[in-house]
Structure 1
Amino acid sequence: MDADAIIIGAGACGLMCAVQAGYLGKRVIVLEKNDKPGAKILISGGGRCNYTNQFASAEQFISANPHFVKSAFTQWTVDDTVSFFETYGITGKEKTLGQLFPDEKNARDVVQVFTSICEDFGQEIRCNAEVKDIVILPDGFEVSYEKNGKLVTINTEKLVVAAGGLPIPKMGATDFALRFARKQGLNIIETAPALVPLTITGKDEEWFAQLSGNAVFSEVSNDEIAFEENILFTHWGLSGPAILQISSFWRRGQPININLLPNENIQVLLDEERKSNGKTMLSTLLNRYYTKKFTDALGKFLPLEKPVASLTKADIDLIDQTIHHFKVKPAGDKGYDKAEVMRGGIDTNELSSKTLECKKIPNLFFGGECVDVTGWLGGYNFQWAWASGFVIAQQL
């Protein structure tokens, strides 16, 4: 055998797995298709890397089996992630809603932690190594990969597939893990882009496009869930944290509701204004909460130049509907090019929740994004990657 284990993919899961295996005295070879490890780590959070979330639990993950992540999160906690990075000089700074970013460090430093430890342990990270074939042998696995135009074959007793999902093909993302799993007869939960901007077409397209660049703090909801963060208008539709969050729960053809003033009651504000100064124009009142450009755009729906005192009951009902129940029916999403993660993946029923070993094929493990575990925006997906990498390493 060339190593105790071969890990396919030098992303967050694969790198953590290699490091943790090193702590246990195991030698691994990591095969990475790209020319450097941690490609998606490097671009995460605009290069700052939101590496975990203080509130991470099973509640913030989407899966056909929502309980699946509990075992991994018991074995490797948020505190473990924080301690691990602190040991190597990266302390966390909370930005918002529990999101931890490196304080005075960035994504490059996060990747450097893993590559340095791998070097110390003699773990090999072979870049520009694209896996072409995997043969399952009676006593292990034969992995063939292409490097510099040559086909190289290596053998191992244990194999870890941490090859990621479909988002951001230009970063080297492929469906390798899914294709390999299907070839072995494993079930795949239908995949789709997640944490992705939504597109608006048709008669409303121009209205959204004219607001491109405007952000509004909102509550975005559907029948399942609600998120309260900024939405961002774009020339193709909607983006921003709240939209990315709801996108993971959205299906084509479904509407979403946007409360454009979630911490106020517009009817109460109108009533108070009527009592204090009924001559105030509706536009003046709305300008206290929105940019002038956004208020002006609401003029398509609302009587902006009416004094508050002159508003009829029908006007007030219309204002309430528009501000608190703004209905949007997205045409679609921006696809894997713009998605942060993939929804769906290898069915968790095919894996042991305690070890992430494939139930049908001994000594084969799947971790990270290729598994049907999708976190919310805000460091949750990294926590799953670190935890799944750790769990697998204990079995190598």
Structure 2
Amino acid sequence: MDVDAIIIGAGACGLMCAVQAGYLGKKVIILEKGSKPGAKILISGGGRCNYTNLQSSTEQFISANKHFAKSAFNQWTVEDTINFFEVNGIAGKEKTLGQLFPDGKNAKDVVAMFTGLCEDLGQELYCNADVQDVRTVAEGFEVSYLQNGAAKTLKASKVVIATGGLPIPKMGATDFAFRLARKHQLHVVETAPALVPLTITGKDEEWYAQLSGNSVFCEVSNDQISFEENILFTHWGLSGPSILQISSFWRPGQTININLLPQEDISALIEQERSHSGKTLLSSLLNRYYAKKLTEALGKYLPLQKTVAALTKAEIAEVHKTIHHFVVKPAGDKGYDKAEVMRGGIDTAELSSKSLECKKIPGLYFGGECVDVTGWLGGYNFQWAWASGFVIAQNI
């Protein structure tokens, strides 16, 4: 046996697993397909790395089994993440909605913290190591990989699959976890891009394109859930935090509802304006809440040049419907190239919730994004990565 365990993937889960295993005196080797570790950590949060969320609980995660992550989150809490980062020189600073970022530092510092700890703990990291196969052998597992063109093998009694999901192929995303799972008859929940911009095509495409670059605070909802954050109009459709959030709950063919003025009632504002003078144009009233370009675009649906006093009941009802119930039917999404994460993955029914060990193949563990546990936008997916890495380290 070469080591206690082989970890495949040097992302958030794999790095945390290696460090925590090192604290327990366990020796691991990490095999990373890319030329450097932590590629997705480095681009997270625009390079600033939103590494957890103060509000994190199982409620902010999507999974075929919504209770599955409870055990991991009980074993490794948000408080544990905050303490771990602080002890290692990275203090947290809260931005909006519980999002925690490194104070005065960035994603490079986070990766450097993990690689430094791995080095201190004697954990080995092999980059440019493209794993070809994981085979069960009498002693445990044999991992074959290519490194700079040379075929190599390693053996260990435990193997950890922390290869991430399918988003951002150019960053080295791979379907290795799912190929391995299917080879061993493990069920994989259907995967799809999540936290991803949505596209608009056809007759409405031009209307959205003209608003490209405009951002507005909205409530975006469907029959499952709602989010209040900004949306961003783009030349191909819609993006921004609330659109990314709802995308994880959207399926092709479905509509989403956008409330363009969630903290006011446009009908009440019109009545209020009428009681003062009524001479205000509807466009002037809307300009108090929106950029001029958005108001002008709404002219496709609304009588902007009418005074509020001249609006009929039917017209006020139409204004209300347009502002508070703007229905959008996206054509699709921007795919894995632009998705922040993936939904679906290794079926949680195949894993022990306490250890993340594969029930059918003792000694094989799955953690991080390749598992069917998908968080909201805002640091939640990192919390799952840290927690799953910690849990696996206790058991390998």
Q: TM-score w.r.t. structure 1 length? A: 1.00
2:63 — aligned with what? 63
> Which whole-Å CA distance do the structure 1 matches of 2:151 and 2:170 have between them?
24
SS at match of 2:276: helix
Residue 186 of structure 2 is matched in structure 1 by 186
Structure 1 spans left out of the alignment, 5+ residues: none
In structure 1, the partner of 2:116 is 116
Q: For the residues of structure 2 that align with 1:100 and 1:212, how far apart are their CA atoms?
A: 29
In the alignment, is residue 154 of structure 1 matched against residue 142 of structure 2? no
In the TM superposition, what are the counterparts of 1:235-250 in structure 2 within 5 Å? 235-250=235-250
Runs of 4+ in 1 over 4 A off after TM superposition: none
Report the Cα distance in structure 1 between the residues aligned to 2:320 and 2:349, rounded to whole angstroms.
46
Match of 1:132 in 2: 132
Counterpart Cα distance in 1 of 2:112 and 2:82: 16
Quick one: distance in 1 between partners of 2:360 and 2:165? Answer: 22
Cross-structure match for 1:40: 40
Q: In the alignment, what sits opposite 1:210? A: 210
For residue 74 of structure 2, what is the aligned residue in structure 1? 74
**CA–CA separation in structure 1 for the residues paired with 2:267 and 2:391:** 53
Corresponding residue number in structure 1 for 2:49: 49
CA separation in 2, counterparts of 1:275 and 1:391?
Answer: 63
**Letter matched to residue 382 of structure 1:** F
Deviation, structure 1 residue 37: 0.2
Report the CA distance between 1:95 and its aligned residue. Answer: 0.9
Distance in 2, Cα, partners of 1:7 & 1:263: 48
Distance 1:277 1:11 in 2: 61
Match of residue 251 from structure 1: 251
2:172 maps to what in 1? 172
Deviations 1:51-100 (A, max 9, x none): 00000000000000000000000000000000000001111111100000
Q: Which residue of 1 aligns with 2:8?
A: 8
1:232 matched to which residue of 2? 232
- Residue 291 of structure 1 aligns with which residue? 291
Q: CA offset at residue 138 of structure 1?
A: 2.4
1:291-310 matches, within 5 Å, as 291-310=291-310
Q: How big is each residue's C-alpha offset from its partner over 1:285-344, in whole Å with a ceiling of 9 and x where there is no partner? A: 000000001101000100001000000001100000000000000000000000000000
1:317 aligns with 2:311: no
Give distance in 2, aligned partners of 1:209 and 1:323: 19
- Offset at 1:148? 1.1
Query: Over residues 178-203 of structure 1, what are the superposed CA-to-partner deviations in whole Å (9 max), with x where a residue is unaligned?
Result: 10011010001000000000000000
How far 1:377 sits from its partner (Å)? 0.3
Residue 355 of structure 2 is matched in structure 1 by 355
Amino acid in structure 2 at the alignment position of 1:63: S
For residue 372 of structure 1, what is the aligned residue in structure 2? Answer: 372
Q: How far apart, CA to CA, are the structure 1 residues paired with 2:382 and 2:101?
A: 12
Give the secondary structure class of the aligned counterpart of 1:394: helix
Q: Offset of 1:222 from its aligned partner?
A: 0.3
CA apart distance, 1:277: 2.2
State the match for 2:382 in structure 1: 382
Task: Give the corresponding residue for 2:103.
Answer: 103
Q: In 2, Cα distance between the equivalents of 1:2 and 1:172?
A: 27
Q: Which amino acid is 2:110 matched to?
A: V
Q: 1:1-40: per-residue Cα shift (whole Å, max 9, x none)?
A: 1110000000000000000000000000000000000000
Q: Which amino acid aligns with 1:169?
A: P
* Matches of 2:287 and 2:94, distance apart in 1: 31
- How far the C-alpha of 1:44 sits from its partner, in A, is 0.3
Percentage identity across paired residues of the two chains: 76
Q: Find the counterpart in structure 1 of residue 391 from structure 2.
A: 391
Cα distance, 1:167 vs structure 2? 0.2
Cα distance in 2 for partners of 1:277, 1:383 equals: 54
* Structure 1 match to 2:340: 340
Q: 2:328 maps to what in 1?
A: 328
Moved more, 85-94 or 346-355: 85-94
Is residue 274 of structure 2 the alignment partner of residue 274 of structure 1? yes
Question: What's 1:28 paired with?
Answer: 28
SS at match of 1:272: helix
> Partner amino acid for 2:135?
V
How far, CA to CA, are the matches of 2:78 and 2:133 in structure 1?
Answer: 36
Shift of 1:280: 0.3
What secondary structure does 1:193 align onto? strand
Give the whole-Å Cα distance in 1 for the aligned partners of 2:277 and 2:10.
63
- Which whole-Å CA distance do the structure 2 matches of 1:91 and 1:288 have between them? 39
Q: Give the superposed CA RMSD.
A: 0.5
Gaps of 5+ in 2: none
1:218 corresponds to which letter in structure 2? Answer: C
Write the letter of the residue equivalent to 2:357: E
| Partner Cα separation in structure 1 for residue 277 and residue 337 of structure 2 | 50
**Cα distance in 1 for residues equivalent to 2:209 and 2:125:** 45
Distance, in Å, in 1 between the alignment partners of 2:22 and 2:213 is 47
